[in-house]
Chain A
Amino acid sequence: AQRVTQPEKLLSVFKGAPVELKCNYSYSGSPELFWYVQYSRQRLQLLLRHISRESIKGFTADLNKGETSFHLKKPFAQEEDSAMYYCALNFGNEKLTFGTGTRLTIIP
């Protein structure tokens, strides 16, 4: 069975400091991974997907199949990055398994 683990429920980072949100997965197939973000009072939205290898809002994530990880990184945190972040695994035909999420707070 597929599983996504986000070990940190809460993460606080000072503005301007680097950010890393951890995500590990277990899946027997070829993984397709995503990061979703939910800002206060907004709906869940896609931040980035590993196959596109894009950088969105300064965030990047690299799929490491050896370590089964897909950590989200940003070199310099901004106050508007405060939000709930979910890592998700596509386990076939657009069905997603989500982690429990990490609430990121940027300290001014």
Chain B
Amino acid sequence: DAGVTQSPTHLIKTRGQHVTLRCSPISGHKSVSWYQQVLGQGPQFIFQYYEKEERGRGNFPDRFSARQFPNYSSELNVNALLLGDSALYLCASSWTGYEQYFGPGTRLTVT
């Protein structure tokens, strides 16, 4: 198993545009969480999905949305991009308990 995978690795968007980030969890993991990591800060929780249902949402505006598919992969969508959305977006998956396995991240740059 390659572990948690995320795509794309990098992308550059313009203010006001929309972006979709993708995550494939480790096989057998049913929970996926998304985090935003701004340079110099620790990861900040955005969303958690379990069995295709939203289980939690962090303190992020409604421009951020996510979903989980029947195969447990997940998408994070951000609308009306702002310069402040530039960050590394991390996906993590877990099976049970609290051990989360992180992906390599998608680095988003908004210009």
Q: Which residues of A are interface residues toward B (Cβ below 8 A)? A: 4, 6, 32, 34, 36, 43-46, 49, 86, 88, 90, 92-101
CA distance in complex: A93, B3 (Å): 21
Does the CB pair A49–B99 fall under 8 Å?
yes
Which of B45, B90, B104 touches A95 (beta carbons < 8 Å)? B45
Does the CB pair B40–A97 fall under 8 Å?
no
CA distance in complex: A98, B88 (Å): 15
Q: Which residues of B are interface residues toward A (Cβ below 8 A)? A: 3-4, 31, 33, 35, 40-45, 48, 50, 55-56, 58, 90, 94, 97-105
User: Known contacts being A34-B98, A43-B103, A44-B90, is A94 close to B33, with CB within 8 Å?
Assistant: yes
Does the CB pair A43–B48 fall under 8 Å?
no
A67: min CB distance to chain B, Å: 21
CA distance in complex: A4, B41 (Å): 12
User: Known contacts being A43-B102, A46-B100, A90-B98, is A98 close to B44, with CB within 8 Å?
Assistant: yes
